[in-house]
């Protein structure tokens, strides 16, 4: 079934994205995995060529295109070539963090930050998770107590994507701890602020080219001018933006599953056993047929969610369904594809092995899949 959600400009953008990845990413990705971090130069090149923050308005240096299909293409193509480390970094920046600046930033903040994030000069992160608070954001203990024209920020965050490279970090903190979730605010912490320290670049089982760090805030004086939106509205802002984050994960999950299936079909054509291609064996053909069907069904739903997001109609429930189903499907498909590769699938020189390692986190970040089911189940009204 042909996907019918794309128009001519999307196909042209996909071709340009593939060319960019072939020239600027694939030759260097192995080294970035060894370094546990991508280069800042690739961010700047991505910004120069229009692959970052497509929805930043033109007056702030962006393309001014409010169409998530372009974000979708970047996510799909980076996972297709196995550049998942850089893919997550770009996706976190464009799909998750920067929209907070666009939607809730003041005019002064937009002029100060948006040109830099669109060009790739400034890399963003969003610091939600703490050692004792993950999916339950209301349990965050990081505090930001106002003193005059500054907030005094104290706390710790962990598992922060782009944590080492980031220049702007949107920090979830309690400006009124006694009010619980109603006391949560968002502060933008900038590189170099005194008391803001980065911990180690965390060792992960997958996504090796993506820097993921611990962040520490010790009496950081954050100007009130860096408050994003209104004080005490942070939890509401998070709830408003999380559906797009979860859809972004669903998009990358489907891109990964589709790529794994393509690699495996090609492998089954080439690999021989008992004198003939292994793809001629009924069990393997049936396995491929099952996965192709599941991937196609999942893609149709995710595509529909993207179009609903464009129309401002994507519900939290549907975004949660997409994130849960697509990430679980990704794990199943990649695992089965690795099995069909046999011993070669266990070798890291084959992309399916890296895809297997990278897939596992998809069901965890952005809210665990168990939390997704909790959100979906609320619609029953029990």
User: Minimal CA–CA distance to 69: which of 25, 116, 6?
Assistant: 6
CB atoms within 10 A of CB 155: 21
Asked if 89 and 140 sit in the same domain, the reply is no
Q: Is residue 95 part of a domain?
A: yes
Per the CB < 8 A criterion, the answer to whether 72 and 87 are in contact is no
- 1 located within any domain: no
* Whole-number CA gyration radius for the chain: 21
pLDDT at 85: 65
- Report d(CA 53, CA 44) in Å as an integer: 12
In the block, tokens 């970090």 appear at 169
CATH number at residue 163: 2.40.110.10
HEC string for 240-278: HHHHHHHHHHHHHHHHHHHHHHHHHHHHHHHCEECCEEH
Examine residue 114 and state whether it is found in any structural domain, yes or no. Answer: yes
Indicate the residue among 122, 143, 173 that finishes a domain. Answer: 122
DSSP one-letter code for 228: E
Contact between 238 and 97 under an 8 Å Cβ cutoff? The reply is: no
CATH number, residue 65? 1.10.540.10
Q: Are residues 174 and 263 in the same domain?
A: no
Are 239 and 359 part of one and the same domain? yes
Based on the domain organization, do 189 and 242 belong to the same domain?
Answer: no
Of 311, 284, 142, 173, residue with least CA distance to 237: 173
For residue 74, the enclosing domain spans 8-122
Predicted confidence at residue 82, as pLDDT, reads 82
Last residue of a domain, one of 122, 147, 170: 122
Cα 297 to Cα 112: distance, rounded to the nearest angstrom: 43
Task: Encode 254-284: b = buried (16+ Cβ within 10 Å), e = exposed.
Answer: bbbbbbbbebbbebbeebeeeeeebbeeeeb
Q: Where in the sequence numbering do the catalytic residues fall?
A: 245
Mark whether 240 and 376 lie in a shared domain: yes
In three-state secondary structure terms, 130 is: strand
Nearest in space to 330 (alpha carbons), one of 310, 370, 302: 302
Whether residue 369 sits in one domain with residue 310: yes
Regarding whether 131 and 108 lie in a shared domain, the answer is: no
Count Cβ atoms within 10 A of the Cβ of residue 25 and give its class: 0-12 exposed, 13-18 middle, 19 or more buried. Answer: buried
- Contact call for residues 104 and 227 (beta carbons, < 8 A): no
Last-in-domain residue among 210, 232, 254:
232
Structural domain count of the chain = 3
Quick check: is 3 in a domain? no
Give phi and psi for 157, each to the nearest 5.
-125, 155
- What's the average pLDDT block by block, 10 residues per block, for the chain (382 residues)? 93 97 95 94 96 96 96 94 80 96 98 98 97 81 97 97 97 96 97 97 94 97 98 96 96 96 96 90 96 98 98 97 98 98 95 96 95 94 80
Q: Which two tokens stand for residue 109?
A: 């903040």
């Amino acid at each position: 079934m042909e996907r019918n959600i794309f128009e001519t400009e999307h196909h042209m953008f996909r071709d340009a994205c593939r060319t960019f990845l072939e020239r600027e990413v694939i030759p260097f990705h192995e080294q970035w995995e060894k370094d546990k971090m991508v280069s800042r130069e690739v961010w700047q090149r991505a910004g120069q060529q229009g692959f970052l923050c497509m929805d930043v308005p033109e007056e702030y240096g962006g393309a001014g295109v409010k169409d998530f299909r372009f974000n979708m293409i970047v996510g799909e193509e980076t996972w297709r070539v196995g550049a998942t480390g850089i893919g997550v970094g770009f996706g976190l920046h464009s799909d998750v963090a920067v929209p907070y600046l666009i939607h809730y930033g003041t005019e002064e903040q937009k002029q100060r930050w948006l040109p830099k994030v669109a060009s790739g000069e400034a890399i963003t992160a969003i610091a939600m998770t703490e050692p004792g608070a993950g999916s339950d954001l209301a349990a965050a203990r990081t505090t930001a107590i106002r003193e005059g024209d500054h907030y005094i920020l104290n706390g710790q965050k962990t598992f922060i994507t782009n944590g080492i490279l980031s220049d702007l970090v949107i920090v979830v903190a309690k400006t009124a701890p006694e009010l619980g979730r109603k006391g949560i605010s968002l502060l933008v912490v900038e590189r170099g602020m005194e008391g803001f320290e980065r911990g180690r670049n965390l060792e992960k089982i997958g996504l090796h080219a993506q820097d993921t760090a611990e962040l520490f805030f010790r009496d950081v004086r954050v100007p009130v001018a860096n408050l994003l939106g209104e004080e005490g509205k942070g939890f509401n802002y998070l709830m408003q933006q999380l559906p797009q984050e979860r859809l972004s994960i669903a998009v990358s999950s489907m891109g990964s599953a589709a790529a794994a299936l393509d690699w495996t079909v090609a492998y089954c054509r080439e690999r021989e056993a008992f004198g003939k291609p292994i793809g001629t064996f009924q069990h393997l053909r049936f396995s491929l047929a099952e996965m192709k069907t599941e991937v196609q069904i999942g893609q149709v739903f995710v595509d529909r969610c993207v179009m609903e997001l464009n129309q401002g109609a994507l519900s939290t429930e549907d975004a949660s369904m997409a994130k849960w189903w697509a990430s679980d499907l990704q794990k199943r498909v990649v695992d089965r594809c690795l099995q069909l590769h046999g011993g070669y699938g266990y070798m890291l020189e084959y992309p399916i092995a890296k895809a297997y390692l990278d897939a596992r986190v998809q069901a965890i970040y952005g809210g665990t899949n168990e939390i997704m089911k909790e959100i979906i189940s609320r619609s029953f009204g029990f």
